Amino acid sequence: MKLYFHGGAQTVTGANYLLEIGGKKILVDCGLNQGSRFCEELNFEPFPYKPKDIDALFITHAHIDHIGRVPKLKREGFREQIYSTPPTKDFAELMLIDSEHILNQEAQHLKRNPLYTTADIIKALGSWEAVPYHHKLDFEGFSATFYDAGHILGSGFIVFEGEGKKIVFSGDLGNTPDPILKPTETISDADYCLIESAYGGRVHEDEPSRKAILKDVIESTVKSKGTLMIPAFALERAQEILYELNSLVEHKRIPKVPVFLDSPLAISLTAVYKKYGSYFNVETQKIIKSGDQIFNFSGLHLTMTTEQSKEINKVPNPKIIIAGSGMSQGGRILHHERRYLSDHNSTVLFVGYQVAGSLGRKILNGENVVRIFGEDIPVRCKVKAIGGYSSHADQPLLLKWLKPMKKSLRKVFAVQGEPEESGALANKIKEELGIPAEVPQLDSFYELA
Ligand code: ZN
């Protein structure tokens, strides 16, 4: 068995692993490399393997740093099947189509040809098979099974068995307990494991505080008659915020105020969530059975068109606007930020990670003036953040997930993290669990005996 790290090594994004097992070459994830830009130049380089030689592609979940280069793989000669859970397939379609125009803009900026076209996306979806959790897929020479990773709806970790060995690819692991998802599953044995380490060196703040912070921020914005802007990722984060708002509204814990979900992508993705009721946790399923629509409440407006989005400006304060992109690198949030960042009665609330160099990070770092659409905008509004909204497991949760496999694991690879985070996790795995652990280099390979 041979394992190649062609992405996600010493970096959070661009997950792409090649496994040779039972005489076959398979890939796990084919994500976009992302940094201060939506799409880094690295994505335009050819793959370090021949796509036509690959026998199958397995996708852990639908975040763009795990699926963003799938159409490129197809374009460059990959001919075989793609496998993921059913929600991942549905989300992937919406995410890939949505990101295409941003990718085209980035390609123009870098003076490159587009990474792929809509036709490549359609071709990829045509050979994409949806497989439920726990269904063992048997191939010549190996098998594959998806388990619930609890990170976003439909996210999976994948167990491959072949050549008398078992290897686990964690994908991204959830920050259990999650407000809507089931807890991350565990398995009791494996020989090798790749584990994500985005927060491999950190401990998240206490979970209950996030709903309380959200409530406080809404109350104070309403009191000062301002606008509350929430830049949010369209997949999972937007739905989590809607879920919390639904609960706060239904229990009359916040004043009545119009809420705008100003993101066509988030609106379409939310519709997919409604298809997969059985994927939610027990409490959420109970709420749904009681007749409550968990992502809908009085005062919520979904704005699909640009015209509807512009109309939001005319609605008097106070109001709440949830819009993408999550790090203010583009999208409708920029129009709202241009208008309301200079208003000292308004608030911007960050509910997700803000990468260095992004507009979101600049605002969060307290810059007094930021540039939006070529205009200098003074930042006079309140700036708040809720850290506990991470959908990634922190160090204690990552160790807890590995523990049941402690006796059988021969080596663990810490991936999908910045070098310090991956290194901190690898050290802890060695010290606390006594398992050999490494942080692989990009494009390195290992012979797994
Ligand atoms: Zn993810």
Mean pLDDT per 10-residue section of the chain, whose length is 449 residues: 97 96 98 81 94 98 96 97 98 95 86 94 97 98 98 98 98 93 98 97 76 93 97 94 95 95 97 96 96 96 96 97 91 96 97 85 96 96 85 95 98 96 98 98 97
Locate 56 and state its tokens: 């199958």
How far from 447 is each of 1, 2, 19, 426, CA to CA, in Å? 6, 5, 10, 19
Rounded to the nearest angstrom, the distance between the alpha carbon of 87 and the centre of ligand 1 is: 14
Rounded to the nearest angstrom, the distance between the alpha carbon of 236 and the centre of ligand 1 is: 10
Bridge partners for 342 per DSSP: none
* pLDDT score for 352: 86
* pLDDT score for 44: 93
What's this model's pTM, rounded to 2 decimal places? 0.94
Q: Please answer whether residues 51 and 97 qualify as being in contact, where contact means their C-beta atoms are separated by less than 8 angstroms.
A: no
How far from 131 is each of 59, 195, 269, 304, 333, CA to CA, in Å? 11, 22, 19, 31, 35
Neighbours of 114 (CB within 10 A): 17
Rounded to the nearest angstrom, the distance between the alpha carbon of 234 and the centre of ligand 1 is: 12
Bridge partners for 165 per DSSP: 162
Rounded to the nearest angstrom, the distance between the alpha carbon of 345 and the centre of ligand 1 is: 34
Which residue ranges form the domains of the chain, and what is each CATH number?
A: 2-202+391-447 (3.60.15.10), 207-389 (3.40.50.10890)
Cα gap 46→76, rounded to integer Å = 9
Rounded to the nearest angstrom, the distance between the alpha carbon of 208 and the centre of ligand 1 is: 22
